[in-house]
């Protein structure tokens, strides 16, 4: 089946720094990718829709200047958490679709 | 009211038992219904995919959708310890794969 690779799988950063998370579709082209956030024992919450070659569409309540999304090619979308703070610590997951939604393995971000 | 409601459990069953999971939803426009399995600190993997109302069976898994009641179910027969995971229901308005998820139900199958 199609594979979506997410990197890094975990990252620890200092408060105030920025962190970039990559999401790649390995064997298919994805014009649209999605970014989700998941808190412990809670569901996945859609943050934004990443569109190749155009601006991302953010869900209500998600700060677009805080969570920068770039979808520069048909196989790569990146999420940059800018000026990270401890409350940004979470599990971030991307998905790309080809007949079904395939999810990356997730990135656990810890901001200290 | 959440758009998708799912009892988080936890649910513990003996090996070989039938696991019954369900979700309710409020948006009658949802057309596509999915069940995902998620192991700890991993991304979700698709188990079942159903369009509109009806039943679908795949091996030990059966998914049911009742749009009139806004209720979906997943049954796991002959459960195994390897089925221990969190099960998430998800649904979407169209096949654009923009998904609304339930909270997930944590299942433990005891050997």
Per residue in B47-57, pLDDT (tens digit) is 999 988 889 99
Closest CA to A107 of A4, A6, A20, A19: A6
pLDDT at A2: 64
Best mutation target among B51, B98, B100, B104 (most A Cβ atoms within 10 Å) is B98
Best mutation target among A22, A44, A95 (most B Cβ atoms within 10 Å) is A44
pLDDT at A100: 79
CA distance A68 to A84: 12
For residue range B47-90, what is the model confidence (pLDDT) as tens digits?
999 988 889 999 999 999 999 999 999 999 999 999 999 999 99
pLDDT at A101: 85
Per CATH, the number for B4-110 is 2.60.40.10
Closest partner residue to A106 among B42, B49, B98, by Cβ? Answer: B42
CA distance B6 to B88: 8
Is pLDDT above 80 for B99?
Answer: yes
Positions of chain A with pLDDT lower than 50, given as ranges: none
Enumerate the residues of chain B whose CB falls inside 8 A of the CB of residue A93: 43-44
Are the C-beta atoms of residues A82 and A15 closer than 8 Å to each other?
Answer: no
Between A27-36, B38-47, B89-98, the lowest mean confidence (pLDDT) is in B89-98
Q: Where are the domains of chain B?
A: 4-110
| Closest CA–CA distance from residue A103 to any residue of chain B (Å) | 6
Beta strands in B59-104 (DSSP E): 61-66, 71-76, 85-92, 100-101
HSE of A42, CA atoms in CB hemisphere, 13 A: 12
Average pLDDT over residues B8-18: 94
Are the C-beta atoms of residues B87 and B34 closer than 8 Å to each other?
Answer: no
pLDDT at B70: 95
Average pLDDT over residues B12-40: 95
Is pLDDT above 80 for B35?
Answer: yes
Kindly determine whether residue A91 and residue B49, on different chains, have CB atoms separated by under 8 Å: no
Beta strands in chain B (DSSP E): 4-6, 11-14, 19-25, 32-38, 45-51, 54-58, 61-66, 71-76, 85-92, 100-101, 105-110
Residues of B with CB under 8 A from a CB of A: 4, 6, 8, 34, 36, 41-46, 49, 88, 96-104, 106
Percent of chain B having pLDDT more than 70? 99
| Closest CA–CA distance from residue B105 to any residue of chain A (Å) | 9
């Amino acid at each position: 089946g199609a594979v979506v690779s997410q990197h890094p799988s975990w990252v620890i950063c200092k408060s105030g720094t920025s962190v970039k998370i990559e999401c790649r579709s390995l064997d298919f082209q994805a014009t649209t990718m999605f970014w989700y956030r998941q808190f412990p024992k809670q569901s996945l919450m859609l943050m934004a829709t990443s569109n190749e070659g155009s601006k991302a569409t953010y869900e209500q309540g998600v700060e677009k200047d805080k969570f920068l999304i770039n979808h520069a090619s048909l196989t790569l979308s990146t999420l940059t958490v800018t000026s990270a703070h401890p409350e940004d610590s979470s599990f971030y997951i991307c998905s790309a679709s080809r007949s079904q939604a395939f999810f990356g393995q997730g990135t656990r971000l810890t901001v200290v | 009211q959440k758009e998708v409601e799912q009892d988080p459990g936890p649910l513990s069953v003996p090996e070989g038992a039938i696991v019954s999971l369900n979700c309710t939803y409020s948006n009658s426009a949802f057309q596509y219904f999915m069940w995902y399995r998620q192991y700890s600190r991993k991304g979700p993997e698709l188990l079942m995919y159903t369009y509109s109302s009806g039943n679908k069976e795949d091996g030990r898994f059966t998914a049911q959708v009742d749009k009139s009641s806004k209720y979906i179910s997943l049954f796991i027969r002959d459960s195994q310890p390897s089925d221990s995971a969190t099960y998430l229901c998800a649904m979407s308005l169209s096949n654009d794969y923009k998904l609304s998820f339930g909270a997930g139900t944590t299942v433990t199958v005891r050997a």
